[in-house]
Amino acid sequence: MEELAALLPYGQAILSGWFLVFIRIGAMMALLPAFGEQSVPVRVKLGLALAFSLVVAPAVLSSAPAPIGFLQMIGSGGAETVAGLFLGIVLRLMIVALQIAGTIAAQSTSLSQLFGGSAGTDPQPAMGHLLVIGGLALAAILGLHVKVAAFMIGSYQLIPIGQVISPQVVAEAGLARITSCFALGFTLAAPFVIASLIYNVTLGVINRAMPQLMVAFVGAPAITAGGLLLLTISAPIILSIWSGAFDAVLADPFGGGG
């Protein structure tokens, strides 16, 4: 018994380290693309958090042992929760970029009144739903689970275990990522904005030339059909650009690019 008691501190250190890793990954799991969608049951998310913890913990605890002590565990647990939530939000903004692109595209082509399903609970235009589901499916096909595991392991180099993330880093990185999110969303929807501009200018010229013609009734089917055709052509390009930007965020979550 005395020999087993001598091993107790080592076991306590291992369990406390794995618990801290689980706290960060569990916080990230609530916001991760695909894995953290609101349509995914909570039990599945819990199982995924445990599975990722089994992968990540051996890679990070050897170089950064967890602190031992009740007060240290409380402080480190709070720091890990904040770090996990922030990193999860950084990745969630990439899904928001697709939603922004779909909303802009739908409004530009007069299709914003057509609501589709949603990976979450809030309805969104059918174009936005299509882009989000397509982006999630593409990310999963390209090995999202492997990329996310590497992202989780690399996050401990940016934010060591138990260390509180700097408010300045949160402000600067958060502002950069939000700016990048809106810029990416507008860039992805640029073909629809340009097509809408050309359509409205053409419609205005026709209306000036033939005031008696009800151009709205003539142009409404044209912009709808044109928007659907443009979506068919541009969707693969949009998703490929988004996939590259998503990989860039995974590689450098605190960077200004997106």
What's the CA gap between 86 and 2, in Å, rounded?
A: 44
pLDDT at 222 (0 to 100): 81
- Residue 169 CA, distance from chain mean position: 19
Please indicate, yes or no, if residue 257 is contained in any of the structural domains. Answer: no
258 belongs to a structural domain? no
| The pairing of beta strand 115-116 with beta strand 124-125 | antiparallel
Give dist(CA 222, CA 136) in Å, integer. 30
Q: Does 180 reside within a domain?
A: yes
3-state secondary structure of 164: coil
Structure confidence by residue, pLDDT tens digits, 6-26: 555 555 667 778 888 999 999
Q: What is the dihedral of CA 26, 244, 169, 154, to 10 degrees?
A: 50
**What confidence tens digit (pLDDT) does each residue in 56-107 have?**
988 887 765 555 666 777 888 899 999 999 999 999 999 999 999 999 998 8
Report the distance separating Cα 22 and Cα 20, nearest Å: 5
Residue 80 lies in a domain: yes
Identify the pLDDT of residue 47: 93
Give the pLDDT of residue 258: 40
Q: Answer for the pair 223, 122: CB distance below 8 angstroms, yes or no.
A: no
Quickly count: other Cβ atoms within 10 Å of residue 151's Cβ: 20
Direct distance between the N- and C-terminal alpha carbons of the chain, in angstroms, rounded to an integer: 56
pLDDT at 94: 94
Please count the structural domains in the chain: 1
* Within a domain: 229: yes
Domain membership flag for residue 191: yes
- Asked, for residue 256, whether it belongs to a domain, the answer is no
Bridge partners (DSSP) listed for residue 125: 115
What pLDDT score was predicted for residue 257? 41
User: What angle (nearest 5°) sits at the alpha carbon of residue 238, between those of residues 196 and 112?
Assistant: 45
Tell me whether residue 232 is in a domain.
Answer: yes
Quick one: pLDDT at residue 144? 94
Angle at 16 between CA 12 and CA 17, to 5 degrees: 115
Q: pLDDT at residue 186 above 80?
A: yes
| Cα distance between residue 32 and residue 91, in whole Å | 6
pLDDT at 63: 62
Listed in sequence order, the DSSP H helices in 30-125 are 42-60, 70-108
Residue 118 has pLDDT above 60, yes or no: no
Two tokens, residue 204: 């205005």
CA 27 to chain centroid: 14
Give 45-53 contacts, CB < 8 A, sequence gap 24+.
49/22, 49/25, 50/22, 52/25, 52/148, 52/149, 52/152, 53/18, 53/21, 53/22, 53/25
Whole-angstrom distance, CA of residue 37 vs CA of residue 136: 10
Distance CA 115, CA 105 (A): 13
Q: What is the pLDDT of residue 225?
A: 85
pLDDT for the residue numbered 8: 54
238 pLDDT higher than 80: yes
Q: Which residue range is the domain that position 210 belongs to?
A: 2-251
To which H or E segment does residue 22 belong?
helix 2-29
The per-residue pLDDT for 1 is 61
Averaged pLDDT for residues 156-174: 88
pLDDT at 212 over 60: yes
